[in-house]
Structure formats: structure tokens, C-alpha cells
Amino acid sequence: MRSNVKRYLFVILISFISFLSFPQGFYFDIGIGVGSPTTKIDGKNVADLFDSSVKEVGVEVGLKLGYGPVAKYPLYIVGEISGIGHRFYDAYNYIQFNSYLIGPGLIYYPTSLIQLGISLGFSFVSNQTDLPLNMYDSENGFAWNVYTAIDLGGGNNGFLVGVKYSAATNTLEVSGAKQEMSLFSIFIKYAYRHK
């Protein structure tokens, strides 16, 4: 798993360096979101395993680097690194399911105030718990997300507020179980872009 992740991070680093040679079209955004998650293992909703005393929270974080607008169109080509987490917890313990996306994406501005985006790519899983359980990871999977946001701010600096749907499917190592995660979230981001 780590060799594939290193390969993808290396490609993104090289892309980032090449984008720096075109400073007039450099795009960057970073942000966080919270929302309503779902995690299924072999089609069974994990939330059904817990009673009402167990709380849950869904979080997404992401970073995009890219170039645009492309050929005077309000279109940006980006690379994304992002992750979604689904945590179950009580006063004593926690279990957290994490899925990550590394891949290309597109951003489009139908108007100067609205940003639409989509990304898809390679996914891997890194689950965590403080309980004596085997939380298997995964090496290969597929993830995608789609969102819409309001782009506030002047000049090259923007502040994005939006809604996003993220999903990932992975086959866990050792157990071979299928882990499916999704998150509908509300997010905020800082963006540096040329319109």
C-alpha cells in the first residue's frame, strides 16, 4: 500500500512543481467539512451494530492543486488529496473508518459566484480503534466526490462555502470484506485562484 501511495504523492509533487512555472494560472484550495456519514462492511451498515449511547461524526479534509482557467474557459484542472472519516465513540472507546482519495479533478465556474467540482481516483483505507480489534486496511480502491460551492472573496483569494458528496469503495486486506463509505457534508475552504 505504501509504495502505491508514495507513487501517487510523487506524481502530485511533480505536477505541483510544474504548476509553479505557470504562476498566472495556479489554483490551490484547502478545507474541511462535517456531515452525515455511512459506512458499510459487506453491505451491512456499521451504525446498526451500536446502541443509541454511541455517538458518531463524519469529517472530510481536502487539498487541491491545479491550473486554470484553461484557454479562457472557466475550467480548472486539479489534482486532489482528500479523506473522509467516520468515527463512532463513547466516553471510553472509539472506532474510526478512514478512506482517502488521490486523483485528478475538474472545477467549473458557470458564474463567477458558483464553483462546481468533481474528482475521482485511487483510494486506500486506514482504519483505527483503541479497542483490541483487528482493523484491516486496504491498498486498492476507488473514490470520487462531487460538490457545489459559493465562491466569496475578491482578487485571487476566495472563500468557498458549499455542499459535497464523497464516496469510496475498498476491499480490505486479510478479511477480503468490502468497505463502502459515503459522506454528505457542508464544507468551508480557502482558495487561491485566477478567474
pLDDT at 55 over 80: yes
- Give 2-192's CATH code, choosing from 2.40.30.40, 2.60.40.10, 3.40.50.2020, 2.40.160.20: 2.40.160.20
pLDDT at 13: 59
Range picked from 18-22, 124-128, 163-167 for highest mean pLDDT:
163-167
Backbone phi and psi for residue 160, each to the nearest 5 degrees, phi listed first:
-100, 135
Q: From its phi and psi, is residue 176 left (phi > 0), alpha (psi between -120 and 50) or beta?
A: left
- The domain limits of the chain are 2-192
Whether 17 shows a pLDDT value over 60: the answer reads: no
Give Cβ neighbours of residue 64 (< 8 Å, ≥ 6 apart): 27, 28, 29, 30, 78, 79, 80, 105, 107, 119
Question: Mean of the pLDDT values across residues 58-75?
Answer: 93
CB of 58 closer than 8 Å to CB of 32: no
| Mean of pLDDT values over 67-80 | 92
Q: Is the model's pLDDT at 21 over the cut of 60?
A: no
**Count of Cβ atoms closer than 10 Å to residue 168 Cβ:** 27
Mean pLDDT throughout 42-49?
94
Q: What's the pLDDT band for 184 if we cut at 50, 70, 90?
A: very high
8 pLDDT more than 70: no
Neighbours of 158 (CB within 10 A): 19
Mean pLDDT of 144-171: 95
Give yes or no for a contact between 82 and 61, defined as CB atoms under 8 angstroms apart: yes
Per-residue pLDDT of 111-127, as tens digits, reads 999 999 999 999 999 99
Confidence of residue 132 (pLDDT cuts 50, 70, 90): confident
Query: Model-level pTM?
Result: 0.85
Is pLDDT of 9 > 70? no
Using 50, 70 and 90 to split pLDDT, how confident is the model at 188? very high
Average pLDDT over residues 163-171: 97
pLDDT at 12 over 90: no
Where would I find the beta strands (DSSP E) of 114-156? Answer: 114-125, 128-129, 138-152
Supply φ then ψ for residue 172, to 5 degrees. -75, 145
- Indicate the average pLDDT of the chain: 89
Cα 103 from Cα 145, distance rounded (Å): 11
Q: Is the pLDDT of residue 22 over 60?
A: no
The arithmetic mean of pLDDT across residues 26-53, rounded, is 94
